[in-house]
Amino acid sequence: MGFGMMGGMLVFWVIIIVLAVLLVKELFNSNSIRPRDNASTAKQILNERYARGEITQEQYQMMLKDIH
């Protein structure tokens, strides 16, 4: 084993450690709550569901009272 082999192993482990750190960072970032720019409000979602016919007028009115 020469110095070339040791240098290669060093580079290998540095790459492995960097990948592990990036993976852990991405896992924590994906679990954090980030506001979305195009996030719909509860009333908008309710209006869309009613417009698509997924809920009845009675359900719509009851759910509208719940979110206010």
pLDDT tens-place string over residues 5-61: 888 899 999 999 999 999 999 888 865 555 554 556 889 999 999 999 999 999 999
Q: What is the pTM of this model?
A: 0.43
Q: pLDDT at position 6, please?
A: 83
Q: pLDDT at position 18, please?
A: 96
Quick check: helix, strand or coil at residue 36?
A: coil
Q: pLDDT at position 34, please?
A: 56
Q: Are 42 and 68 in contact (CB under 8 A)?
A: no
Q: pLDDT at position 16, please?
A: 97
For 17-50, b where at least 16 C-beta lie within 10 A, e where not — what string? eeeeeeeeeeeeeeeeeeeeeeeeeeeeebeeeb
